[in-house]
């Protein structure tokens, strides 16, 4: 029993982890408020949670703002690009029934194209900010790597998309629990996803790598 409540025991480890996630979540939410900074804030969140997963330097606030500053420009450009594409897709979904008769073959074709573009956007979205947090790359290479990872690890990608869609749906349909997303829920979800992200990254990235196009290592090496 004494070892359980020891400062280095499981009880305090859980409390420390929860406090880290609360701090991260509040920082993420505050830094997302200008909306345009959501990309930089999410990149910083992944940067810290991946460090936590690997039991690395756990100064959460310091590391969060370090990543936020370093990745601000690229993450913001990436976010704006994806947000504009996503907004256009959603807008077109609303306009489509009024522009084309649902019974028309043209409607089916246009609807299929919008679904494809929407899926591709989500596929890139769930990988691009973890990649931005982990690698130093040009924006075009980060998009390329997100695309490659999305298809190479499609089951994980689909899982991440389902989690993302569910979280957005839950936040919208259950506004009474909105405070959970402000306090801990977002960081907790990203923290859970970071275990899978880190495991997949280790298939391609050596600890000393700074950034490069994603290629699988030679098994004979």
Reported as a single tens digit per residue, the pLDDT across 90-105 is 999 989 888 888 888 8
Reduced to 3 states (helix: H, G, I; strand: E, B; else coil), residue 55 is: coil
Question: Residue 137 and residue 10: Cα distance in Å, rounded?
Answer: 38
Domain ranges across the chain:
10-201
* Cβ contact 170:185 at 8 Å: no
CA angle 203, 207, 213 (to 5 degrees): 60
- pLDDT recorded at residue 20: 93
Percent above pLDDT 70 for the chain: 87
Q: How many CA atoms lie within 13 A of 109 on its CB side?
A: 4
Two tokens, residue 148: 């490659």
- Band of the pLDDT at 56, cuts 50, 70, 90? confident
pTM equals 0.87
Mean pLDDT, the chain, whole residue set: 88
Element (H, E) at 108: helix 105-134
Q: What average pLDDT does this structure show over 25-40?
A: 95
Q: What average pLDDT does this structure show over 158-171?
A: 92
Question: Residue 88 and residue 94: Cα distance in Å, rounded?
Answer: 10
- pLDDT recorded at residue 217: 42
Q: Is the pLDDT of residue 11 over 80?
A: no
Q: What average pLDDT does this structure show over 8-29?
A: 86
């Amino acid at each position: 029993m004494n070892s359980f409540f020891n400062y280095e025991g499981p009880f305090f480890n859980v409390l420390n982890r929860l406090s880290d996630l609360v701090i991260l979540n509040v920082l993420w939410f505050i830094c997302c408020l200008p909306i345009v900074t959501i990309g930089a804030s999410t990149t910083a969140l992944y940067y810290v949670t991946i460090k936590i997963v690997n039991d690395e330097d756990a100064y959460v606030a310091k590391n969060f703002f370090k990543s936020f500053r370093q990745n601000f420009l690229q993450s913001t450009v990436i976010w704006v690009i994806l947000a504009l594409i996503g907004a256009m897709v959603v807008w077109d979904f609303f306009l489509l029934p009024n522009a084309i008769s649902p019974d028309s073959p043209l409607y089916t074709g246009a609807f299929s194209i919008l679904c494809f573009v929407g899926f591709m956007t989500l596929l890139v979205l769930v990988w691009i900010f973890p990649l931005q947090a982990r690698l130093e790359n040009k924006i075009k290479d980060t998009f390329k790597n997100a695309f490659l990872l999305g298809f190479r690890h499609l089951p994980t990608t689909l899982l991440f998309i389902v989690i993302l869609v569910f979280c957005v749906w839950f936040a919208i349909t259950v506004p009474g629990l909105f405070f959970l997303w402000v306090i801990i829920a977002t960081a907790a979800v990203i923290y859970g996803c970071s275990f899978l992200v880190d495991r997949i990254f280790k298939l391609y990235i050596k600890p000393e790598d700074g950034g490069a196009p994603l290629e699988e290592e030679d098994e004979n090496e």
